[in-house]
Amino acid sequence: MSESLPSPTEKLTARVEGQIGWLILDNPARRNALTLAMWQAVPKLVAALERHRDVRVIVVRGAGDGPFASGADISEFETVRATAAGARAYEAVNGEAFDALCHAAKPTIAMIRGFCLGGGLGLALATDLRIAGASAEFGIPAGRLGVGYPPGAMAQVVAALGPMRAKELFFTARRVKADEALALGLLTRVVDDTTLEADVTQAAELIAGNAPLTLKAAKAAINAAAGLGTADAGTLGALADACFDSADYAEGRTAFLEKRPPLFKGA
């Protein structure tokens, strides 16, 4: 059963199917380039999926068979980014969108088909896992546009690539194919284009079947170790302790002894 959530813009929608929350970029006329309204909607819709009681994992994707995202919508640059002040405000909105995904308590996956460029790649890099079809193409052309990349979001690029590879990607502004992106660390996995949605759904369902409190604690600790989180040692310890105090911990032990799949409730 599918449930659509209210959205501030028809070009970015959210849908819940079972335990998977789908965040869908839907601007086909611009190859799913992100408008200002779409950037502004990302934190709102991520928060709605975070609050939804059924959602265990969030998947970001382009609508239908369209590309993931060809970047920010350049047609808006002459208006919303025409001045330095406007550009800074726009980059702040970008940063809020990236942070919403990076710091979401629930696991996030980017399902990448076709173009994944500029701000679109930034959005993908803010997710925890990135699975791409073999024909996907990646790049950050900021150097060719003269724009500044949000400094806060740069940490997510460096966490995925390391400093030297991040510099090479920005300095050259070149595009890379899926196989090279996998080798660089941009991707978790490359799959056949024809099975991309099925493979991503399978991965999401596998994640959704695990203990939510454990995944929340693991994500927070890994982000902190990678320099992406602000949680202190006390907070991280409390998240880990909550796992041992939970009914899910008892369920996991019981299911193991009874040799059956556990049924976790997230409590």
pLDDT of 87 > 90? The answer is no
Asked whether the predicted pLDDT for residue 81 surpasses 80, the reply is no
**Strand stretches in the chain, DSSP E:** 2-9, 12-17, 20-25, 57-62, 108-112, 115-117, 129-133, 137-139, 176-177, 189-191
What does the block give as tokens for 210? 């695990």
Asked if residues 210 and 264 have their Cβ atoms less than 8 Å apart, the reply is: yes
| Protein fold of 2-208 | 2-enoyl-CoA Hydratase; Chain A, domain 1 (3.90.226)
Share of the chain above pLDDT 90, in %: 86
Average pLDDT of span 166-194: 97
Token readout for 193 is 């284009």
* Strand, coil or helix: 115: strand
Which pLDDT score, from 0 to 100, does residue 40 have? Answer: 97
Hey, what long-range contacts does 3-7 have (CB within 8 A, 24 or more apart)? 5/45, 5/48, 5/49, 5/52, 6/48, 7/41, 7/44, 7/45
What is the rounded average pLDDT for all residues in the chain? 94
Mean pLDDT of 191-200: 98
**pLDDT for 206-227, tens place per residue?**
999 999 999 999 999 999 999 9
Going from the C-alpha of 250 to that of each of 55, 66, 106, 242, the distances in angstroms are 22, 44, 21, 12
pLDDT bracket for residue 45 (50, 70, 90): very high
> Which DSSP state fits 147?
P
State how far the Cα of 47 lies from the Cα of 9, in Å rounded to an integer: 15
Beta-bridge partner residues of 60 = 23, 110
Of 97, 78, 18, nearest to 52 by C-alpha is 18
- The Cα–Cα gap between 135 and 179 comes to 9
3-state secondary structure of 107: coil
Measure the CA angle with vertex 139, ends 135 and 141; round to 5°. 145
Domain range list for the chain:
2-208, 212-257
pLDDT in tens, 93-148: 999 999 999 999 999 999 999 999 999 999 999 999 999 999 999 999 999 988 88
Single-letter residue type at 73: D
